[in-house]
Structure 1
Amino acid sequence: MSSPFGAICRALLRTRQYYCGTMSAPFEELSAAVLAVSRHLSVREVLQTIVTAARGLLNCEYAALGVPDDQGGFAEFVVDGVSDEQWERIGPLPRQHGLLGAMLHDAKPERLPDLRKDPRFGWWPAAHPVLKDFLGMPITDGTEILGALYLANRRDGEFTDADERLLAVLAAHAAIALTNARLYEHSRELTLLEERQRVARELHDAVAQKLFSLRLLTEAAAALVRRDPAQAEAELAEIRILAGQAADELSQVVAELRPRELADSGLVETLRRRVELLDRVHAASVHFVSSLQNRLPAKVEEAVLRVAEEALHNALRHSGATIIEVSLGNTGDRVICEVKDNGAGIDPAGQQGLGLASMRERAARVKGTLGVVSTAAAGTTVTLVVPGG
C-alpha cells in the first residue's frame, strides 16, 4: 500500500480498534466512501456517504459538506450527526459566512482547537449544536474550490495531522463526484447544441430551398393572374407539387428527430433510463414507476417522453424539490403520465419560461390534455393524459 494513503490506513488500524470491536471497520468505511464515487448513486448519496465516513473515521460528533451556489448560499449542505428534528429546528440552510465562507475562498485546510475563539466566527442559530475543535478541508478540482468538508468535536482529543491527511483523501473523492456531475451537465448541453445544429442543417438542406422556390413561384403566379390566367394556373399547380414535397421532407426530418432509443426500446424503458440517469447525477431523489404494458403509437410515445422530460427539467432546475416521482399507467383507453415534485411550486408570474405552452401544444397534437396543479405547500404535479391507441 503506497504512502501517504497506506500510512493513513495503517495508522487507523492501529489506533481505532474500538470500531465495532474489529480492525476492519476503518477500511470498510473508507472503501465505502471511495467506491460510492464509481457506483450508480446520485451526487447527494455520494456526498452523504463521504460525510458519514469522515465523521466515523475521524471519530467526531459532527460532519458536514457544503457546495456553494452563486447567490451567497449553498446549493448542497449535507450533514451527519444532526437528527432530522434538530435540523428542522435549526432552520434554513446556512449562508457563506464565517469559516464556512472563508474556506470557499481560500483553498487551504483549517484546524482549530476552538472554533468559537477564531476571529472569523460569527454566530449560529439557537438550536445549532455547540462546536468546539474544528477541522475543515476545501474540495477542489485543482484550480477551483467546489465545496468544503467541515468536522467538529473530536471525541478523543484534538484533530491530528493524520486526520487532516485522511480528510484530504475524502475531499479528493468528493471532488470527483462533483466534477462528474458538472461534466454530465456540460455533456448534455453540448449534445443539445449539436442536435440543434444538426436540425438546422437538415431543415435548410431538405426544406428551405423548396420554400424559397415556393415563394418565387407564388410571386410569379400573382403577377400572371390577370395577364395570363392559364400560365398562372400552371404555376399554381407547380406550387402544389412543391408544397407537397416540402411537407413530406419535413415529416421525414421530424421522424428522424425521434430518439433512436425510443424507437428501439419503447416509452417505458426509455423513460426509466432517463429517470435513473437524472437520479444519479442530481441531488433530488428521482423515482419512476410504470404499469403500462403495451407500446403506443410513435407520435404518442414521443409526446409523452418530451412532456415528461420538460416537466423533470423544470422540477430539477427551478423547484428546489428533494423528491420527484414519475409515473406512467393507463385507465381504460387513456394513458396517464404524471410528474410530481415536493418543491416550492410555480409562481404564476414566472410560468412563461417553464415551457408549459409547448407542453400543452405537444399534448394537443396527439389529442391529449395537460394539467398543472401547483402550491407552495405541496409542490407541483404535471399530468398528461393521451389516447392509448
Structure 2
Amino acid sequence: MSESEQLLPKLPLDELLGEVQSRLQAVVAARDGVHALLEAVVSIGRDLELETALRRIVEAAIDLVDCRYGALGVIGDDGQLAQFIPIGVTEEQIARIAHWPHGRGLLGLLIKEPETLRLAEISGHPESYGFPEGHPPMHSFLGVPIRIRDEVFGNLYLTEKRNGRDFDEQDEIIVKALATAAGIAIENARLYDATRRREIWLDASAEVTQALLSGSEVGDALGLIVAHARAMAAAQSAVVVVPNGAGRLMRVVAADGEGAASLADLEFSAAGTLSAAVLESGEPRAVNELRLGAEPSPLLDRMPDGPALLVPLGAPPRVRGVLVLVKSKGESPFVGPAVRMLHAFAGQAAVGLELADTRREAERHGLVDDRERIARDLHDVVVQRLFASAMSLTAVARLIDRPDLAARVQHTVDDLDATIRQIRSTIFALQSARDDVAPTLRGRLVDIVEPAREQLGFAPGLQLIGELDNAVPDEVAEQVIPVLQEALSNVVRHARASRVDIVVEASAGRLRLTVADDGVGLPQDGRRSGLANLTERAERLGGSFEAVAGDAGGTVVRWEVPLQPSR
C-alpha cells in the first residue's frame, strides 16, 4: 500500500463530501449569525428613546433565534416586575389575558436567580406557575438576564421557536451576546431619557408657575397642570380631583384627554377611593391595570382601563388634591423614573398654587387696608369739614332777617346733613368689606340695593344710620332683608319711578326702614299680597307697617320694629 493511500480516510467519497458541505453550511450559518447579531446591535443602539430601545431589543432577539414571542421584563426597586414589554402578542390577545405578569413562576425565578435558563417545555419545570386565563399557549423557553454593569436591569424572555424546534446552545450564545450589547444601549437610553424628562419637567413647571404668578385663574392653571402631566406621562386621560365638603366628597376641577367632557365637575364620595387614600398619605400610587368597579366611585370607571398613577398635589398636611393619570389598556405601567418625575412636577405645581394663594391674599389685604384708609380719611377730613360747614351755616341762618333766605340756608344745611349720613353709610360699607368675615347687615343691605341699579335704570339713594351691625339682633336682621327686597321689587315692577330713597335707621330701641319713590303711587284696586306679607313680618316682631302716598307724589313705605322683639 502506497503512502498516499494510507493517508486517505477510510470513508466513502459521498460521506466525505457531505461532511465537508455540512461544515461549510455551519460556517456560513455562523457567519450569517454574526452578521445578524452585529446588525441587531447597531439597530438597538440607533434610537435613544428608552421605550423604543427596549422594544427593538426584543424584536432583534426574536429575529435572531427565529421564535414567535418575546418579552422584556424590567425589574423595579422592590424586586418585582415594574415594566413588561411583550412582542408577538396582538392587542386583542393582550385584552383577553386575565392579568398582567406579576413576576411569579419562571419569571420570578430569573429575577431571584439571574442566570440563563433554556427549556424544551415550560410546564415541565418545577417553578412553572402556569399561564393566566386568555394567555396564548407556549412551550419552549429561553430566558437571559440583561445586566448594566453589576446591576440586573431585567430579563429577556423568548418562547415558541418556530417549526416546533427547541432553543439550542447557539441560540443561547447569540442572545447572551445581544443582552450584553443591550445593557450598553439601555444605559445610554436611560441617560438620554433622564435628560429629556428633566427638560420637560423644567419647561412644564416654569410655564405653570409663570401662569400662576402672573395672575391667571386657578382653574386655568389646573388645566395647564393636567395637560402637561398627561403629555409627560403619555397618558390617555388626566384629571385633578380636590376634597370638597370637609373631605367627604371629591370633585374633578380639571380634566384633559379622553373623556374630559364627561369628567368635568364630576363629584363623588371619597370613602374607599384611591384618590382619598393618596390624599391622606401624601404618597403617589401606581396601579398596573384598572378594572371596572375597582373602587366605589364613578371616576375611574369613566377613564381608560389601563395602568394608572395617582400623584398628590403637595405634601402632608397641605395636600391640595390628587393628579390622576391613566393609560390605555395593554400599555406599560408607570415605572420609577416616570413616577418620580410626575411626583416632582405635581409638588412644584402645588408650590406654585400656594404662592398664587399667598399673592392673592396679600392683594386682598392690601385692598382692605386701602378701603380702611379711605374710610378713615372720609371720616376724619370730609365728614368733619361738612359738619363744620353745616354748623356755620346754621349759625348764619339765625342772623338772617329775611325768612326766604333763612329757609334757603336751612335747606342747604339739611342737604349737608343728608350728605354726611350718606358718607357715613359709605364708610361703614368700606369698613365691613372683608372676605374673611361673615357678611354684616350693612353689607347685606348694600348687596340688595346695588343690583337694583340695572333694573331701575338709576342708582337708588341709600342711607344707613346707627349701629346696624351691632345693635340689630339676628332675628330682626333676617326679617328686614326680605322686607327691603320686597319693597324694591314693588318699585321696579309697578312704580315707574325716576328716584328712590332708602333709609335704614337703628335708634331709640327701634329699627326703621323707609323706601320712598316718585312713581305713579299705589293702585287703588291692585293686588296687595306683597304689602300683606310686609305687614305680617312687622307684626310678628311687634312692629308696624304702612304704605302711603308721598307729599310730592309717589309712595312711601315705612316698616318699623323694636330692636328687642316681643315674645
Normalising by structure 2, report the TM-score. 0.34
Q: Relative contact order: is structure 1 or structure 2 higher (C-alpha 8 Å, sep ≥ 6)? A: 1
Normalising by structure 1, report the TM-score. 0.48
